[in-house]
């Protein structure tokens, strides 16, 4: 399985004591959601939890699902073999189908 990741834009990972995170939770959450930053919260200098955007968490969990991984691998094989169509073709076909059903 291959996933294209833009290596030029490295994620920003911050380490933060739990006590500071508790006081600044709203600001931490905003930075995670808006700026796509990551936080590792520490208790007595020991990392205990990481914070990331909910969409990223859902993507991560989906990738752990073997069924989803197989679907992604099959899709990548289709792309590599040229068994794909441009999105414009799909949209054009969809609009033609919609026009036919509207005329009835």
Q: Could you tell me which residues come within 8 angstroms of residue 2 by beta carbon, excluding any fewer than 6 positions away?
A: 76
Please enumerate in sequence order all residues whose Cβ is within 8 A of that of 71, keeping only pairs 6 or more positions apart, or say none.
none
Element (H, E) at 89: helix 87-103
Give the number of C-alpha atoms closer than 13 A to the C-alpha of residue 45, restricted to the C-beta side. Answer: 0
> How does pLDDT run across 20-61, given as a tens digit for each residue?
999 999 999 999 999 999 999 999 999 999 999 999 999 888
- Each residue's pLDDT tens digit, 80-99: 898 888 888 888 888 877 66
Q: How many residues does the chain have?
A: 104
The model's pTM: 0.59
Identify which has the larger pLDDT, 37 or 1.
37
E-assigned strands of the chain? 13-17, 38-43, 46-51
Structure confidence at residue 13 (pLDDT): 93
């Amino acid at each position: 399985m291959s996933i294209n990741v833009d290596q030029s834009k490295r994620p920003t990972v911050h380490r933060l004591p739990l006590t500071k995170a508790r006081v600044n939770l709203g600001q931490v959450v905003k930075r995670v959601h808006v700026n796509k930053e990551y936080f590792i919260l520490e208790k007595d200098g020991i990392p205990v939890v990481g914070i990331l955007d909910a969409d990223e968490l859902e993507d991560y969990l989906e990738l752990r699902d073997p069924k989803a991984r197989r679907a992604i691998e099959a899709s990548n094989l289709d792309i590599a073999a040229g068994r794909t169509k441009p999105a414009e073709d799909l949209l054009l076909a969809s609009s033609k189908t919609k026009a036919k059903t509207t005329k009835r």
